[in-house]
Amino acid sequence: MPTLLARLVLVVGFCLATVGSAGFAEPVEDGAWGLLIAGLAATVAGGLALRALQRRRIAAGAAGGGLAPAGLAAALTEIQREVQSLAAAAAGLGPAELAARIDPILSGPCFELGSRNEAYARLLGAEAFARVWSGFAVAERLLARAWSMATDGFPEEARAELPRAEEAISAACREAAALAAPTGS
Residues 182, 185: Cα–Cα separation, whole Å: 9
Q: What proportion of the chain, given as a percentage, has pLDDT over 90?
A: 53
Sign of the dihedral defined by the CA atoms of residues 155, 78, 110, 123, in that order? negative
- Is it the case that residue 134 has pLDDT exceeding 60? yes
- Is it the case that residue 60 has pLDDT exceeding 80? no
Task: Please state the rounded mean pLDDT for residues 19-43.
Answer: 87
DSSP symbol at 65: T
Could you tell me which residues come within 8 angstroms of residue 76 by beta carbon, excluding any fewer than 6 positions away?
Answer: 113, 132, 136, 169, 172, 173, 176
Q: CB 34: neighbour CB atoms within 10 A?
A: 12
Domain ranges of the chain: 2-63, 69-180
List, in sequence order, the alpha helices (H) in 23-154.
Answer: 32-63, 69-89, 95-105, 111-114, 117-124, 126-151
The per-residue pLDDT for range 71-124, each reduced to its tens digit, is: 899 999 999 999 999 999 999 999 999 999 999 999 999 999 998 888 888 888
- The mean predicted confidence, pLDDT, of the chain is 89
For position 59, what pLDDT does the model report? Answer: 60
Residues 91, 84: Cα–Cα separation, whole Å: 13
- Is it the case that residue 52 has pLDDT exceeding 80? yes
More confident residue, 147 or 39: 147
- The residue type of 152 is D
Class of the CATH-defined domain 69-180: mainly alpha
Task: Please state the rounded mean pLDDT for residues 45-51.
Answer: 89
Residues 99, 150: Cα–Cα separation, whole Å: 6
- Is it the case that residue 66 has pLDDT exceeding 70? no
For position 185, what pLDDT does the model report? Answer: 44
> Does the model's pTM come out above 0.75?
no
